Amino acid sequence: MTIFTKIINKEVPAEIVYEDEHCLAFRDINPQAPTHVLLIPKKEIPTMNDATPADRTILGHLLLTAPKIAAQEGIAEDGYRLVLNTNASAGQTVFHIHMHIIGGRPLGWPPG
């Protein structure tokens, strides 16, 4: 179990911006841009490498929910980035998959 499960269970506070049966979105505690939201499945999946075909529906749901949150945050038209860091070289620090929704400023490419 990670801190994100504690956020799901409301045992640790977070600024929640969206919630439904399958997922939760809250503001990153260390934002890298004016908008930086983390969208997570309520199901505990440590990394994208652990996702299976049984997770098809929840992963699709995350991808379809992210643009709704971007619209809610007012960054959908301007543009935003969806990021799923996986394991050490990508800088994953919390082993409960989370989609970063980042926007509100021009974003550089490629990532550092």
Residue from the set 60, 74, 91, 111 that interacts with ligand AMP by CB under 6 A: 91
Cβ atoms of residues 8 and 46 within 8 Å = no
Phi, psi (degrees; rounded to nearest 5) at 17? -110, -15
30 binds ligand AMP (CB under 6 A): yes
Cβ atoms of residues 15 and 69 within 8 Å = no
Question: Of 16-24, 28-36, 72-80, 101-109, which segment contacts ligand AMP by CB under 6 A?
Answer: 28-36
94 binds ligand AMP (CB under 6 A): yes
Residue from the set 93, 106, 108, 112 that interacts with ligand AMP by CB under 6 A: 93
Q: What is each CA distance from 57 to 11, 23, 33, 46, in whole angstroms?
A: 27, 12, 29, 17
44 binds ligand AMP (CB under 6 A): no
Known catalytic residue at 98: yes
